[in-house]
Amino acid sequence: MSIEDGVRPFEEGVRTDFEGRMSYAGYLDLDRLLSAQHPLSDPAHHDELLFIIQHQTTELWLKLIVHELRAARAFLDDDELSRARKSLARVKHILHSMTDQWSVLATLTPSEYAEFRGVLGSSSGFQSAQYRAVEFLLGNKHGRMLEVFRSDAKAHALLSELLDSPTVYDAFLRLVARRGLAVPAEVLERDVSAAWVEHPELVQVFREVYSDTTTHWELYETSEDLVDLEDAFQLWRFRHLRTVQRTIGFKTGTGGSSGVAFLRRALDLTFFPELISVRTEIGA
């Protein structure tokens, strides 16, 4: 097979007739996916499509994160630690992709965004049900958040379920207890609908893990996986903050939040505080 006139001929066997057959576009439902962008500015501002696709792509990644965190939780419940770690690793890499993605939105200048920001109305990323689902799965639970989704039955049901379900960290700590370590009963029997707060006595459990990594190798590795995940999540949060700051400065957010100040406070939240605190104990 040779290239003539700059044209590469089809290889033998390449399908060109998809009548009655599954195609790439059909499998991915591209007709619906690629027609889901509806700029509201009139006339349509060139950069509004970027803004929409950025956020739609983020929602697709969040959907996959929820899928993987649910799987990790189930694998931990079933003592399938290797499979749980695979899901956690995948979430970490998704978060890295999401963090890099902010650099695309950062090409939107303040002047360009100001020309169509008004069409967003009161819509805001604060209202992302999937983002809240991720936070609930990781332990940052807040029952009042359900009020935001009262008009969305599907989102309300999802978050209600996750509010009343154990977190990934709960599942891991139960596995740690099954491995013979002295996880306090109050931790194992806690109200899972409450936001996680640090348990100082749990730090000593992890000190034992980190002090004898040979005996507790799998627990040690999984603990580090969770720290990796939290670092990746916090980097995504920070990149979000910096992108918002360079685009709107210190304006109030479209959803009514304080904007950058609100995002900065989120950086103080931590999902697995004992896994950070134990580092102070190691070698002391």
pLDDT-above-70 percentage for the chain: 99
pLDDT score, position 155: 97
Question: Tokens 């931990």 — which residue?
Answer: 76
Q: Average per-residue pLDDT in the chain?
A: 93
Binding residue numbers for heme: 240
Binding residue numbers for substrate: 51-55, 113, 117, 254
On the question of pLDDT at 133 being above 90, the answer is yes
On the question of pLDDT at 226 being above 90, the answer is yes
pLDDT score, position 4: 66
Domain spans of the chain? 47-281
pTM above threshold 0.85: yes
Binding residue numbers: 51-55, 113, 117, 240, 254
On the question of pLDDT at 77 being above 70, the answer is yes
Banded pLDDT at 11 (limits 50, 70, 90): confident
The mean pLDDT of 215-244, rounded to a whole number, is 96
pLDDT in tens, 152-171: 999 999 999 999 999 999 99
Four-way CATH pick for 47-281: 1.20.58.480, 3.40.190.10, 3.20.20.480, 1.10.10.10? 1.20.58.480
pLDDT score, position 15: 83
Q: How many CA atoms lie within 13 A of 32 on its CB side?
A: 4
Residues 6 or more apart in contact with residue 237 via CB below 8 angstroms: 263, 266, 267
